[in-house]
Amino acid sequence: MTLTPLQQDFVLHFGEMGSRWGINRTVGQIYALLFLSEEPLNAEAITSALSISRSNTSMGLKELQSWNLVRLRHRPGDRRDYFTTPDDLWEIVRTLIAERRKREIDPTLTTLRELEMRGSTGDPYAEARIAELRELIEMMTQFHDEMNRLETERLVQLMTMGRKLGGLLEKTNKMKFWGTNDT
């Protein structure tokens, strides 16, 4: 499989971004390749397209599977495993957020709660900062839970309304400041 210049640029960029997102470059490249592929790819095709070792391909696919970002497919008469990404971009985003929450946010929230359970430690400033951070993270996770319950169509509508809502809040705050009740 030969990549087009467009595909190659996208794959290389995702590899570079992967390291900033907490995954290695090869995993980012594998994901980008699968994302752009019209058909599911097997490990040999991935290895060839990216000029990486078979072991790197296997390890990268396992990592992507652990993140629930790739789907395993089989073809009749072919014993090889084929991989693809979900077609729905919103499913990908929701999966990424859920996995990051599970791996990063939830353990932090658990630790903050455990620290608060210790009671008074003689360090009221640190105790207050920990409580403040826990409250913020809980508020954010509750917001995420509410947004996650929305159908994709409703979520898109809400997001496109964001700027309008911000402008409305700004206008409301200005009216309160000036003591007017006009809308």
pLDDT tens digits for 99-142? 999 999 999 999 999 999 998 889 999 999 999 999 999 999 99
Strand, helix or coil for residue 170: helix
Number of alpha helices (DSSP H) and beta strands (DSSP E) in the chain? 8, 3
Residue 169 has pLDDT above 90, yes or no: no
Q: Are 32 and 15 in contact (CB under 8 A)?
A: yes
CA distance 68 to 51: 24
pLDDT tens digits for 47-102? 999 999 999 999 999 999 999 999 999 999 999 999 999 999 999 999 999 999 99
pLDDT tens digits for 6-46? 999 999 999 999 888 888 999 999 999 999 999 999 999 99
For 117, half-sphere exposure in the C-beta direction (CA atoms, 13 angstrom radius) is: 6
Residue 165 has pLDDT above 90, yes or no: no
CA distance 32 to 4: 13
The residue with greater pLDDT, 166 or 108, is 108
Residue 158 has pLDDT above 60, yes or no: yes
pLDDT band (50, 70, 90) for residue 174: confident
Place of tokens 């996995």: 99
pLDDT band (50, 70, 90) for residue 182: low
Q: In the structure encoding, which two tokens stand for residue 10, read together?
A: 């996208």
